Amino acid sequence: MKKYSILCVALLLAAQACNDDFLERSPQTEISEKDFFHTADDLDTYLYSVYNFGGIGIYVEDMSTDNTATTGVTELKNMMTGSPTAANVTGGWTWDQLRKINYYLDHFGTATLTEAQRSHYEGLGRFFRARFYMDKVARYSDVPWYEKTLTQDDPDLYKGRDTRTTVVDKIFEDLEFARQYVDADAGEDRPGAVTKWVVRAFMADAALFEGTFRKYHTELNLQSTADKYLTLASEVADEVITDGGFALYNTGKPESDYASLFTSGSLEGNSEIILGRFYEAGLLNSGWWGYMFGNYEVSPSKDLQQTYLMADGTPYTSQAGYATHQFVEEFADRDPRLGQTFAYPGWELINNSTYAQGAGIYIQELSRNFTGYHQIKGFVNNTDTDVQNNLDVPLIRLAEVYLIFAEAKAELGTLTQGDLDGTVNLLRERVGMPALAINPPVDPVLQAQYPLVAGGLAAVLLEIRRERRVELALEGYRSDDLMRWHAGKRSEIEPEGLYFPGLGKYDLTGDNIDDIILLPADAEIPAEANKEKNSLGKTLVYYRVGAIGAEGATFYLKDGEHGNIATAADLGTFEEPKFYYRPVPQPQVLLNPNLTQIMGW
């Protein structure tokens, strides 16, 4: 039987599936250092409650970015289209997790441990505290720093916000301790446990975030300190790459190796996985269902689709007439990761549990507010519920560490061709793509997307950003990337979908046989018996199209009866620099007037 995540083993004590309520519980009053913190097993048991890593949901976390269109309610969407204030932007100011962590750090020392064990368990606690605070810094910038368990009458309950520099210094003190002392083999018999390599991968990621945030966010006046964190990101990433014993998963099948990482029930022991969530059908179900496929809330954008290179390594957007390519042509001769992320012409749908069009050769269902593209990354195309419930989730991959290293070195201006060959080009090699050179031609489309990128390595840095977007697409990274790069304005771009040059019949499967027919918004769709059939004897699917808001339209086209599928009329305004941060919720300021607002909130 497959081993399952140490996190989820613990949660089985509380529920059949991982339960957020359990994760949010504070330490119970009857648990104390006198009757609980005795052994290493006690410490492991306690720590299970602070393992709050993601799961299946990572595949739909790119909402409110340029990667997707969404009909879902998101905080950023509400901010951009409404009148945001500290009274109505109130999520995120939660501290239960920190209390559990600090309680542990205050009391773990009472356990009987060797010196090495003591340092290991302290390192784990400090890792989780650093992780908690990185989330808070990313959201609020300045936050109160607490490193002890607070009592109800503790005056620090009413302290103000510590500066970003103070808090980040403390975060990296914690991470440095964990980097040195957490055991590299801690997860050897407990898949999903935090090890030294998990710590270092997270540390590299945190340092890259902070370094690039400081570099591009001039409102902080911290540009002079950016290189400190970029250097740390490259050094720690290099440790994982050089000493961690990991390797890209590559069986020599460029058409499927990448995709298999996201649809596997057996990632345990996979050489690329630094941290995963491991599930066992019937014991701990993955929670998977087909919400990422079908017109539910999220659909991939044309902007993301056009980011993937041609198979020869040239930009898709450099192709003549690329903007008016139709669906079948869009997928011809592209980076193989495109067809392992997006459903492509000729793909066969087997698991149609959430898809009205039914199983068979994929003919997308076109619907208002959706792009017409569908996501297959992380989608289990199998009707067996045991297979679905057994799905493992890769949370930290060596691929991400490669990209951290390459980006940090490029930002520092020290990237070499050897660095690229040992990182980005291994990712490209896995999918049979040409290598990236240190001095590629500048892609004007990327340059327009990221106008703040400058310097001698600007062209290759832009390509590394492309590589990051493609390799990590729809895994939940894009929002943080746009925020740290000072690219929030990209959230204003209305996501678009398939291109149709006009009314009439279209082939969507690539067999040169028509599948659908587009009519004007006010046309009458004939009765089923009177609908036209194609040469295969299949009835064409009828749609009525028009501009956004057109009465009777099944889906919208940007220019009414032609153009790209339009999903939204106006996504609002991303206000800079204000929207890179969130306000302290007004109820908290009323309770503690020392919590002042920043950045115009």
DSSP states of 20-58? HHHHHPPPPTT--TTTTTTSHHHHHHHHGGG-----GGG
Q: What is the pLDDT of residues 263-318, one digit of tens each?
A: 999 999 999 999 999 999 999 999 998 888 888 899 999 999 999 999 999 999 99
Q: How far is CA 383 from CA 60, 258, 269, 397, in A?
A: 21, 22, 26, 27
Q: What is the pLDDT of residues 484-529, one digit of tens each?
A: 999 999 999 999 999 999 999 999 999 999 999 999 999 999 999 9
Q: Give residue 32's pLDDT.
A: 60
Domain with 405 in it: 397-491
Q: Clarify whether residues 572 and 540 are in a common domain.
A: yes
Q: Clarify whether residues 597 and 506 are in a common domain.
A: yes
The residue from 491, 526, 557 where one domain ends is 491
* Residue predicted with more confidence, 27 or 65: 65
| 399 pLDDT more than 60 | yes
| Nearest CA-CA partner of 395 in 173, 131, 84 | 131
Q: Clarify whether residues 331 and 346 are in a common domain.
A: yes
Average pLDDT, the chain: 93
Has residue 259 been placed in a domain? no
| 20 pLDDT more than 60 | no
Share of the chain above pLDDT 90, in %: 90
| 7 pLDDT more than 50 | no
- 3-state class (DSSP) for residue 291: helix
| 221 pLDDT more than 60 | yes
Q: Clarify whether residues 538 and 444 are in a common domain.
A: no
What is the average per-residue pLDDT within 133-156?
96
Q: Give residue 5's pLDDT.
A: 44
| 126 pLDDT more than 50 | yes
Instruction: Taking each helix axis as running N to C, give the angle between helix 40-47 and helix 96-107, from 0 to 180 degrees, rounded to the nearest 10.
Output: 170
């009757």: which residue's tokens?
35
Q: Clarify whether residues 405 and 330 are in a common domain.
A: no
Q: Give residue 17's pLDDT.
A: 36
Q: Clarify whether residues 507 and 572 are in a common domain.
A: yes
Q: Give residue 58's pLDDT.
A: 95
Q: Clarify whether residues 504 and 371 are in a common domain.
A: yes
Q: Clarify whether residues 566 and 520 are in a common domain.
A: yes
What is the average per-residue pLDDT within 26-50?
78
Q: Clarify whether residues 344 and 430 are in a common domain.
A: no
Has residue 585 been placed in a domain? yes
The residue from 475, 491, 507 where one domain ends is 491
Q: Please report the sign of the dihedral spanned by the C-alpha atoms of residue 444, residue 449, residue 453, residue 457.
A: negative
Query: Residues 352, 359: contact at Cβ < 8 Å?
Result: yes
The residue from 474, 491, 508 where one domain ends is 491
Has residue 32 been placed in a domain? no
Q: Clarify whether residues 581 and 497 are in a common domain.
A: yes
How many domains are contained in the chain?
2
Q: Give residue 186's pLDDT.
A: 83
Has residue 308 been placed in a domain? yes
Q: Clarify whether residues 443 and 316 are in a common domain.
A: no
Q: Give the containing element (helix H, strand E) for 70.
A: strand 68-70
Q: What is the pLDDT of residues 328-344, one digit of tens each?
A: 999 999 999 999 999 99
Has residue 10 been placed in a domain? no
| Nearest CA-CA partner of 518 in 544, 549, 554 | 544
- The pTM of this model reads 0.94
Has residue 327 been placed in a domain? yes
Has residue 13 been placed in a domain? no
Q: Clarify whether residues 503 and 355 are in a common domain.
A: yes
Has residue 286 been placed in a domain? no
Q: Give the containing element (helix H, strand E) for 216.
A: helix 196-216
- Find the range with the poorest average confidence among 30-44, 58-72, 431-445: 30-44
* DSSP at 252: S
211-249 CB burial, b ≥16 within 10 A, e <16 = bbbbbbbeebebeeebbebbbbbbebbbbbbeebebebb
